Chain A
């Protein structure tokens, strides 16, 4: 039984690594079958756990059964959702191939350049520093007419800086 579960896992994994969504779905379904085998196998084998139908000592373990029942229904939900994805993929591209994420690729490609936004902001700091350098480098004897261009009186009454 363990070998069966292992085989289901292996085949499921193999299918999961494909690019066709329908194969991925099949792979996922096989994986969940494998998990269910593991679960059921973990419990005791016996007669159906219906009270009154026999000695409780002969009952099959009900706990994994309840868990697996939940698992079956949930994996049906997963399959349905993935099928809907495949359907959507068909609506858009007429195929169910999972292509590489273009955005992700772009992020990867951008790694060698500067982030646009940061460059902008730091340029502003550069500018502020250049002004300050000018301000600091200028001694008191510098002709004030040139300095006048750096600070302009603001007639609107906005003195916040």
Chain B
């Protein structure tokens, strides 16, 4: 069964891929999957008729108990027969309906196949969640098919309405499914129905599920989307919006009703919604002049009747519902096909314009009368058999309200008789006015036999089963008994003798005929009863508008566009939520170590002073310098804490940060010039205080308790045996937590690229420079080599120092595994060496180092680290698994090489690359390196030492 659904998906995809090239043949291609389904169904029928369900189950998400359960029982077989059988016929019909040259035919055929597959999946699924999935798939394919003429705004609006209404219902249904599934302890529909759960939760769930079913089957008040959907091509309307998809809601109600009809409100609600829809839509159908809209409203009306019948949930009503479902699908699909034929041949489907049939139209006319008769419930067609059964069901329904419902059904039936006559008379041109504007030369003449054939097939089934209803016994019996096991030995007969249902039936036919004959007077009454033939679309529209403007308003409040407000809200939450928890909790420590050592106090004072000064000063540059003070003091703190690696890194980073600040801040105005109102500053202080207090509380409570042994004890223990390193911090970084570090250097690479992109994009060398740029000599077409002479001593000493610092950084890298140091520290020290070069020779000097391609260094680093991490996988190890090799070269003594060192080298290169990229970002372009020395503190020294050569 899953294979069947997959088959549809495959053929749908093929259709999408090459449908346009196949022309009309793509419709035949699309018919393959439904045809295969039909054949498969016939093969299975023997078993199904014996009352054995065909079951298939595939595990999907076993952890959630989610399986793809499929189940073919009698009722599912009836639905599959309709979906696949009518599907094949619709494809045949569409092959004539659509003109040869139509470009989107491939897509249309493919979408129909997708729809057929979803619908087959829907009726076969035995799992609530799987059913929901297929349910939504039918909604999506229906959306695409309604909006097929996507350049037409009307089609788009109708498609959107259909999608929004049915999906909103489906969402409610999903919630209902979950609640129901939880209450029952299973999501399998068959299990759930054989042992139905009860309780308030179940009743709420049923209510939500009904919302989904009602919207899908276009019940009042959400029926408006169905007439709107008539903008779809007629074959689509015949298939989706009359015979199959709209039956999904009815299908669900039919499944649930026998099990849940005893819930107190079920019968009153379902039956009255169904009957109200039947009456309301029936009256609307009696006023339509567009045949397609007439059929749409009659579909809504008939769906209402089906909902009401199945909603009764009695044995006889289940049988009646199955018959009605079958009769309606056969008749309505054929009726839509007729309308499509008329539209195609005459170019109109307005009953005021359609002409009388000439020779060659005989077959079409016959089909028209058969379908109309079936819709009206005239004897000798299937519709009559079904309607008799329905009337009997209501006649025997329990409860005091049953007679009222019966009268409503009879009145509704009279309406359907009236609009069926209207349909038939309109289709054969008996309703057009005298001197119709229709001229014969607009007509394409009678339709080819092949065009009418699918409708003829459906009509013949309607007639044969109407005359000899016994042929349906096994099918209806299997369908009804699969819904309600209490159903026994269904036997359909055309003549039950003169009984109550026959009397009602005759009454309805007579009343309908009278209503048709006196239609002018009836119209006056209808207009009085329903001043406007439309109503709920207004609700749809205004709710859509309301939703949009509410969304805008919420966005306007939530998204004010002000960074301080955003940050303020975040920080306030961060301060308040844990803060309140702290106040309510009992986490306060007994004793607190206020200050560790006297040195701590000194360092803390420096940090605090630096931070306060950085916040208070009004000059950017000074703020950056005070930030540096805080950083260096932090390094001091790390030293006392016993963290030399941290101290080294902090010092190096702080130096580099300061250089970066200098490079950027020299551009910006010297002072902060904004004047903020006092209240706003007060607010800031208050928020800052709140955050501070919360952090203090957190720190105190966190420090008070440590119930488990620190993970670091094991790390210290395993550092040398497992990681081959004596420096525990470094081993943690490159070995134990190497995955973290790999992620970190990836972030650094991204930062480097982002920084260059931000700083270099759209940089205009000629305008960003100071006036000096104009006389820098020949700059314009191609920048000449920078011609500056430097102090020889500075030049030489820089080179020497650079080499020494680089060697030192390499030492830090290689020693890092056993001594303080490592890739990060080494890389940053190398970065400091690069900064030295920059000070001496500007960006040109830095570029010479990496041949102007710092990203190569960056990329090489990331590559080395990644390769080191991945290589163990090739040898069957795990990611980042370490290995060690001991070399014993002469003179140097024993050297232990570990793979972690290679990884660390990668880290080193990434950091060096990052620093190079920073200079690439913020450094000057060559001709500008000596421009505006007064605004350029980083260059004070170099510009002092330079003399320009003109």
Contact = CB atoms under 8 A, between A and B. Distances in A.
B656 A76 contact: yes
A65 to B, nearest CB: 5
B668 A16 contact: no
A136 B288 contact: yes
Most chain-A Cβ atoms within 10 A of its Cβ — which of B348, B554, B717? Answer: B348
Nearest to A30: B611
Most chain-B Cβ atoms within 10 A of its Cβ — which of A38, A61, A65, A104? Answer: A65
Interface string A19-51: 110110011011001101110111111111111
Interface residues of B, number: 167
A104 B160 CA distance: 27
A107 B559 contact: yes
Nearest to A105: B561
Contact of A2 (B557, B623, B645, B700): B700
Main secondary structure of the interface of B (DSSP, over half): helix
Nearest to B751: A77
A112 B685 contact: no
Nearest to B550: A111
Contacts of B693: 6
A112 B550 CA distance: 9
Given A33-B607, A84-B755, A40 B630 contact: no
Most chain-A Cβ atoms within 10 A of its Cβ — which of B556, B593, B754, B921? Answer: B556
A56 to B, nearest CB: 5
Interface in A80-114: 80-81, 83-88, 90-91, 94-98, 100-105, 107-114
Nearest to B231: A161
A81 B751 contact: yes
A140 B352 contact: yes
A103 B561 contact: yes
B545 A122 contact: yes
A90 to B, nearest CB: 5
B148 A22 contact: no
A107 B346 contact: no
B732 A17 contact: no
Contact of B667 (A77, A87, A113, A121): A87
Interface string B692-723: 11011001101100000011100111011000
B563 A59 contact: no
Nearest to A76: B653
Main secondary structure of the interface of A (DSSP, over half): helix
A69 B821 CA distance: 11
B146 to A, nearest CB: 11
B153 interface: yes
Given A91-B763, A100-B561, A2 B568 contact: no
A65 B527 CA distance: 83
B604 A1 contact: yes
A68 B824 contact: no
A143 B433 contact: yes
A138 B287 CA distance: 8
Contacts of A152: 347
B710 to A, nearest CB: 6
B695 A45 contact: no
B918 interface: yes
Given A70-B733, A121-B156, A49 B699 contact: no
Contacts of A158: 99
B692 A80 contact: no
B638 interface: yes
B626 to A, nearest CB: 8
Contact of B758 (A38, A85, A128): A85
A17 B687 contact: yes
B792 interface: no
B288 to A, nearest CB: 6
B262 interface: no
A62 B290 contact: no
A95 B669 contact: yes
A127 B352 contact: no
B356 interface: no
A110 B640 CA distance: 58
Given A69-B645, A115-B552, A136-B288, 12 more contacts: A1-B596, A2-B703, A7-B608, A11-B612, A18-B564, A43-B641, A51-B720, A79-B660, A85-B758, A121-B156, A140-B520, A148-B437
12 contacts: A4-B604, A11-B688, A34-B695, A37-B634, A50-B728, A80-B918, A83-B755, A108-B556, A114-B545, A122-B545, A132-B534, A147-B437
